[in-house]
A and B are shown apart, each in its own frame.
Chain A
Amino acid sequence: MAPVMPAIANTPTIAEVSQRKSRVAYWLLIPGLAWLAFFFVVPLVTLFMTSLQTESTTSPGKYVSGFQLSNYTDAISEYWPQFLRSFLYAGLATGFALLIAYPLAYFIAFKAGNWRSLMLVLVVAPSFASFLLRTYAWKTILADDGPVTSTLNSMHLLPDGRILNTGIAVVAGLTYNFLPFMVLPLYAALDKVDYRLIEAGNDLYGSPQQVFRKVTWPLSMPGVVAGTLLTFIPAAGDFINAELLGSTKDKMIGNVIQTNFIEFRDYPTASALSFALMAVILVMVVSYIRRSGTEDLV
C-alpha cells in the first residue's frame, strides 16, 4: 500500500490531491478487473455448475444441469489415490526445493557481492527454454543406461533399479521445474534482512546452528511461506512431469482431469475433480495467508 503521508503543511501533496479523486481509480480498475471477473471468476462458477451436471436420459453422452452431488463422491472414491499422490509428490518436491533453494538464495543475498544480479539472471534464465523441452531433457539425463542411473545403481540406491518411469523421476522433475519460484521469494525475503542481526548473533557466541534457527530462519519466514506456496500450487496441479517422466502408476490428479476433460469428455467428473483440487488448495492458501497477509504476497 502507498505510504500515506500525514498532512503537516496546508499545501496538499500530489498523493493527497490524487487520492481524493477516487472516481478516477475506478475507471483505471474496471477494464482489468472486469476481464478477471469474466474469465476467472465466472469460469469457476461454470466449473462448479458443470461438476453437478447429470447425464441426459434422452441423449446419452450429453449432460444437463442438475444437482448431482454424487459426482464428487464418485470421482473422489475412484481417483483418491491420484489425489493423495499429487499432494505427496508436490509436498516432497516443495520440501526438496526449499532444501536446495535456501543455500542458493542465502548465497545470492549475503555472499554474492557484485555477482548478485548475474546470479539472479541465472536463476530465471532456465525458464526461457521451453518448460516441456526441459522436462523432456530429463528423460535423457535419467535414462536407464545413462550415467546418473548407473552410478546410483552401482551404489544399490535405487529400489527399482531405474529412475525414469518411477515416482522418483516425477518428484525430481517437479522439484526442478518449480525451483526458481522457491529461490526468488526466499532471496527477496533474505535481501531485506539486516545482515548485522546475523553478525550480532555470531558476536554473542551463538553457534552457526543457533544463529540460523533463532535469527536467519525466522526473519526469512515471509519468503519461505511465499516460496512454498508458489512451488506447491503449480506442482500439485501439474500433469506434464507425471506424463513425460512417470509410468501409468505415477499419474497425478492433473493427468486424470486432463484425460477426463479432453479425451473422455466426462465433463462432470473432470469438473468435480478440478473444483475439489481448487477447494483443497484454497483452504491451504487461506490458512497461510492468515499468517502472512495478502499485501505481502501481491
Chain B
Amino acid sequence: MRWIRKHVIGAIAILVLVYLFLPIAVVIAFSFNNPVGKYNLSWNEFSFDAWTQICGVPGVCSSFVTSLQIGLISTTFATILGTLIAFALVRYRFRGRSSTNLLIFMPMATPEIVMGSSLLALFLNLSFPLGSVTVMIAHIMFIISFVVVAVKARLQGMDPRLEEAARDLYASPAATFRYVTFPLVLPGIIGAALLGFSLSFDDFIISFFNAGTLVTFPIYIWGAAQRGIPPQVNALASLVFVSALLIVLGAQVVSWRKRRALSIR
C-alpha cells in the first residue's frame, strides 16, 4: 500500500505522457498505412508507398515548402523585432514600461480567431490583396511576443558581473556587447527563433483567415480533412516531428555536457 502511495504520482505522470503521445503514434503509424478508399482513418495494410513517393500527391509538397518559407521569413523578422524589445525592457529605464508590457502581453491573451478575423477586417477595408504577404504580416505579429518573453528570460538570468568584468578590463561598450553580452544571449535568441518557427509552421487559424488562395501545409491538411488526408501528409508531419525532436534533444545533450565539463573543473 505504501509502495503504491509512493509511486502513484509517477504512474499518473507517465500515463499523462502516454496520453500526450498517443495521437503522435497514430500519425506516424498511419504514414505506413495503405488506406482503403479516401479516408486514412482505419488500418488496412503496411506500405512504404507514402514514404517512397512523399510528393506523390499534388499540392502536398508545395504547401509544405510554402510553410517553410513563410516560417523562415516571419521568424527572422519577429526574432529581430522581439530581441530589440527584450533588450530595451531589461537593460533600460523608460517611460511607458507598463503599457509596453501590456502591448506585448495582449496578443498572447487574445484568441487566435480574434486576431485572425480582425486582421482580415483590416485587409478587407484597405482592399489589400490576401496572400503570402498578409500571412507573414500576421505571423510576425503573433510571434514577436513569444520572442520577447524568451529573450527577456535569458537576459534576466545573465550574471551582470560578467559584463562588468569586461568593462573593468577596458572593453568598449561595443566590444562588451560583441564578445560578452551577445554570445551569452545567443542561445536564448536561437531558442526563441525555433519556438517562433514552430508556431508559424503549425499555425492554422490566423493563416486560414488571411491566406486568400495561398495554401500552407496546415491549410492543405484542413482542406484534405474533408475529402481524406493522404498518408503522405502523415509522412511529412512525422519527418517534421522527428527532426524537431532531434534538434531539441541535441541541444539538451550539448548543454548537459557543458554543465558537466564545468562542474568537473
Contacts and interface: CB of A to CB of B under 8 A. Distances in A.
Given A40-B141, A47-B118, A277-B114, A103 B13 contact: yes
B106 interface: yes
A137 B26 contact: yes
Contacts of B225: 132, 136, 244
A104 B27 contact: no
A124 B103 CA distance: 26
Contacts of B110: 40, 233, 278, 281
Nearest to B244: A128
Interface string A262-298: 1000010011001101100110010000000011011
Contact of A179 (B20, B84, B209): B20
Contacts of A22: 92-95
Chain A: interface size category: 35 or more
A137 B25 CA distance: 9
A111 interface: yes
Interface string B143-159: 01100110010001000
A158 B192 CA distance: 44
A130 interface: yes
Contacts of A138: 23
A214 B26 CA distance: 41
A143 B42 contact: yes
B61 to A, nearest CB: 15
B124 A267 contact: yes
B12 A32 contact: no
Contacts of A163: none
A132 B222 contact: yes
Contacts of A285: 109
Interface in A85-133: 100-101, 103-104, 106-108, 111, 117-119, 121-133
Nearest to B249: A121
Contacts of B24: 125-126, 129, 134, 137
Interface stretch (A72-80, A197-205, A235-243): A235-243
Nearest to A4: B93
A28 B217 contact: no
A190 to B, nearest CB: 12
Interface stretch (A10-18, A149-157, A217-225): A10-18
A234 interface: yes
Given A25-B94, A133-B229, A234 B16 contact: no
A141 interface: yes
A42 B244 CA distance: 35
Given A104-B17, A129-B241, A274 B198 contact: no
Interface in B84-101: 84-85, 87-88, 90-95, 97-98, 100-101
B221 A132 contact: yes
Contacts of B9: 103, 106-107, 111
B104 interface: yes
Interface hub of A26, A140, A267, A278 (most chain B Cβ within 10 A): A140
A229 interface: yes
A15 B160 contact: yes
B23 A100 contact: no
B204 A240 contact: yes
Interface in B222-247: 222, 225, 229, 233-234, 237-238, 240-241, 244-245
Nearest to A235: B111
A112 to B, nearest CB: 8
B71 interface: no
Nearest to B221: A132
B141 A35 contact: yes
A28 B112 contact: no
A261 B160 contact: no
Given A14-B164, A29-B84, A133-B27, A100 B12 contact: yes
Nearest to B144: A32
Contact of B41 (A127, A143, A233, A257): A143
Nearest to B142: A40
Contacts of A192: none
Give 8 nearest A-B pairs by CB, closest first. A237-B111, A25-B92, A32-B81, A128-B244, A43-B118, A137-B23, A107-B13, A47-B118
Interface of B: 9-10, 12-13, 16-17, 19-24, 26-27, 30, 41-42, 80-82, 84-85, 87-88, 90-95, 97-98, 100-115, 117-122, 124-125, 137-138, 140-141, 144-145, 148-149, 152, 156, 160, 163-164, 167, 176, 198, 202, 204-205, 208-209, 217-218, 221-222, 225, 229, 233-234, 237-238, 240-241, 244-245, 248-249, 252, 256
